Structure 1
């Protein structure tokens, strides 16, 4: 029988944009952990009268005790980024810092002459992070007080303030979680980390100098009772695709049969639009990204149990979706696009974190790849699931599932038109946050609505379908972008804006502002589909048109690439594409 103390997952995040996605993921787990605002949809519930939590927190979190005797509960996580990529975050945060020692006490000075110390200027904390620290101090005395008066959250205008993922992070991490690649500086045009083989060499160098695998990876993995799998988030358009390849090769030596799901992110900067593609710099940069992505796709597919490519959405890709009218997403902001991708990953992963209906990662991935040759998956999302109040019947399922000819799902794994016919091989559906009707006379009931919704999705799209229903909506902490509109506080369609009576010398009815949305219903779909072959064919075409001799940097280092390597990957990707042929 499954117990909550077993079946842990270790997450590895590689690269700046992956950490943008990961920060949203971890922030959602502990909505408002140390402030005066308590979300009703937070995963963590407390008190004798609190409902039993739906999510097994111990799957991705770990308990510990610091040297000062402080009990901790931190993500089971390894974070990799370039120098300058961690922003204001320090390796030793307030939970783990030793207040009895000066940071310089650990330095052994053997030089007896004058010694000068040089320190880089600290990355400034924005208003949001400063306020978070103040609220933490103010509410330490209230940590055991679960019912706190709900107040309107201030708007910190994070769209303008977020430049790095640490600018909206609200989580304490274990010191062993942070791993910095000191050979490369973030956003350094003179020595960019933009070649697949650079990542392979950087992994070797990091292990020689820091031994992060033996020291940090083993620390997290070997303290687990029974690891059910590893969750990788990595960028694939730069050197981190090569870094992830080497990392996974090392893991496979120690864990040859353990499940690994890898989410690979393409460039959020959108260099593929026509306006920039044909300029000399962007054309060269785009070709390098295409080459990196192709090598990453092939290698990460070989080493993972399931590889899921993900594309940050572009501005014109959401216009046709029925739920996009409630979403004002700025595709130029990684802070925004990463939030959308994170919601899809977080919701899909509930299958192997759900306490009521737990499915081990190995079982989920084996069902997704039941043919045993479809190791490239696809992730789709409706964010939010556009439903109304139970009293209004939630909404017409036929209109919710299909908007014209287009599926309600936003395909995060391909750039294809939503109206393109596809053949689903298998799918795992997770619907969450559909509220319960308060009056039994309302029709349809919640269970009837969900059954009709899932039946419709199975009939239209699926052969083999897995269904999961989660009561808890997707939480939106104050660190999340405020890009929803036309929704109430619970993320349901607000058909009738509330009227408020105000008295200022005379009575007048005014539209009251819609309350800040604190959670939203969501539906995700993790699948294998024939659409994947189009993505592979695009990458094959890129390999055919790129002359490796024009990019001598790829031949540098111990893991330099040759034209034979390109040819081999191209031929093997032909084989991968054929697997997803409709025939």
Structure 2
């Protein structure tokens, strides 16, 4: 339905919003003799039931104002006060009621049960509150009176920007403002198209509005991220059962200084991912049988332990032709020591499994590497220091703790085509053109354990009750494949 939630923050905003709602109410049509309204009322209004069973259609809004600003707004809501047991109706006399019926008109319109009449063309002195000219009823949960401050108070005027910020902070701590108030007007936020905000800017309401907007952005950003993570968890579980190797990819949260990327441009972000992916998979396309590797062979190396099929991708790059007299520090061969400890390159394409976009980890903590495929392109025929290899072409390990490693090499550089954005820079910040030398690493390592465990704890409550236990157990089973045999044994409280 593409609903819009409205927030009304302050007296000035409420005067403006009242005119807005009156106008929306005027678009309703009643009776068969009227043309259908061109306005979709479901966008700004929500259906419901009053306590007496009356169908209602009320604004999707939350109205904030100070004590003394609402006038008679709370008292005249006939739709929701009729069954209020705390204030039973008081009879004005003890006699029996007498019913008088007026003669009905020939074609009576059907009134909107959520609207009320108000004085038409009232003079300014007659309007003391925004509620004096309101033509609609509001849901009780839409009205939020902030009793800490009083309208037009000379003792404690609501004027300073900081005062509004402090009031919002107090309210948010006590009532979780965004997660409760904005839910009331819209029980189905999965169809919401946005939030419309009316707010005063010249007094303390400016500070209140600023913090409210910040909170909304944070809350709704988390909702979308949680949905994406829940989808990711389900996909990983299914892919884990079927695929030989899974390589989740994401634009690095922290880019090397020599990458100039417009994160909002899919042309830019996909180009960076393509350079990494195409380089890592280059061995599967080479003609030379001594340098070529099949996808099955690559999977066998990475999945040495049996069920470690979730791998990560990293790359480093350097100019194809450094300037004369200069040798780029990254144009070096990987050493035996680096291979024995697990290669750590400049750019890591591992997605974050945290609800927060950025975790405290810098993404380059050194995990234990179980297996790795290292592919170098453009650096010459020998990518690493001479190492002893076995019959399968894998590096001979000196201990079982070292990673299973296989290296590949090609003189073919990565071409920077005219269709490729200028995202790579040299050490002098000059645009790199023509081609790149790239070293890539596909690896399985112990960081997957914490990532999968974190993903599970983040999304487990978003699953339905029937799926929660099954999906949670499957994620932990996947995680345990990267945990058993190397950890100190602490489980960090993985149970919720």
Give the TM-score normalised by structure 1. Answer: 0.33
Give the TM-score normalised by structure 2. Answer: 0.38
Q: Which has the larger radius of gyration?
A: 2
Q: Relative contact order (alpha carbons < 8 A, sep ≥ 6): 1 or 2 greater?
A: 1
